[in-house]
Each structure stands twice: as C-alpha cells, then as structure tokens.
Amino acid sequence: MTDYELLTAQAEALLESDSAFVPFLSNLSALIKDSMEDINWAGFYLLRGDILTVGPFQGHPACVHIEVGRGVCGTAVKEMRSILVKDVHAFQGHIACDAASASEIVVPIRDAGGKIRGVLDIDSPSEACFTEKDQEGLEMLCGRIGGRIRWEEEQTVRH
C-alpha cells in the first residue's frame, strides 16, 4: 500500500529544487512509478486549449493528444473531477494507449487560481488495482502541489 503522506512530502521536497513544470513533473512521474505497486504507466497530460498533450511520464510510449471529453483523461477534465476505473474495457470510450493496461486512475491538477492545467494519469496491468484510498491520496498530492508549480514555460535557463 502506498504511503501518500510520504509521497506528498517527497513531491514537495522536489518542488524545492525546481518548481518549473517540466523538471518537476518529470521527477514526480518517476517518483510515483517507483512508489506505487503494479503500475505500468505514470505521468501527466497537460491542457492546451481543448487538447490534452502528453507531458512527462514513465512507461511505454503514449497517445500524444487526447481531446477534452474523450477517454478517461479527457472525461476527467470535462467533468472537472477524478475518475477511478477498475476495468478500462468497461469504460465507454476508453483510449487504449497501452493494450496491457486494465485499470486506471486520473486526477486533475489545478493551479493556484483553481484552473485545471492537466491530469495525473496512472495505469495498471491489473483490474481493480486502484481504490478509493488511492484516489484520496492522489487528490491530496495533486491538491498540495498544483498551486506551487510554475506552469508558464521559460525561455531561458538560469544557473
């Protein structure tokens, strides 16, 4: 079982080194993949207009674009809520980026103003891998970090 308090504390520590979205979400996707059992994909889709675009992740190559309202990720954005899917094959309109995935959890990430900036997407090759406790823990994580991420892209690198 994942210790979400510890995971969140580790994520907050990562924010201290760099809060720009690319380096932070890259490290966070690796941290999540290392911290959770039985998952085959952990990463982020970032919202650009009405399209979610794949962001930093750990796992096999993924779908690059997902329209808002399509699949689990797009539905989570459209409905502005987390979605826990125990069997992806039973989810109407599921987008199979990895045929090995059997269950999925998606949690929106909001900035300090409450605007959805993207989603955290985690897949498992096992049915019913995720529970309501996982959803609560991941919502806590996203709630505590979303407002602290620098979402704007920077043009220069600072040393």
Count CB-CB contacts under 10 A for residue 107: 24
| Domain 4-147 CATH assignment equals 3.30.450.40 | yes
**DSSP letter, residue 50:** T
Instruction: Tell me the pTM.
Output: 0.93
> pLDDT averaged over the chain?
93
Mean pLDDT of 26-53: 96
Least confident of 29-33, 48-52, 98-102, 143-147: 98-102
Q: Given pLDDT bands bounded at 50, 70 and 90, which one contains residue 93?
A: confident
Q: Is the pLDDT of residue 56 over 50?
A: yes
Indicate whether 89 pLDDT > 90.
no
Q: How many CB atoms lie within 10 A of CB 139?
A: 17
Q: Per-residue pLDDT for 17 more than 50? A: yes
Tens digits of residue pLDDT in 98-134: 778 999 999 999 999 999 999 999 999 999 999 999 9
- Domain spans in the chain, listed from the N-terminal domain onward: 4-147
In the chain, % of residues over pLDDT 70? 95
Q: What are phi and psi of 133, to 5 degrees?
A: -65, -40
Q: Which two tokens stand for residue 147?
A: 């407002």
3-state SS, residue 20:
strand
pLDDT of residue 153: 66
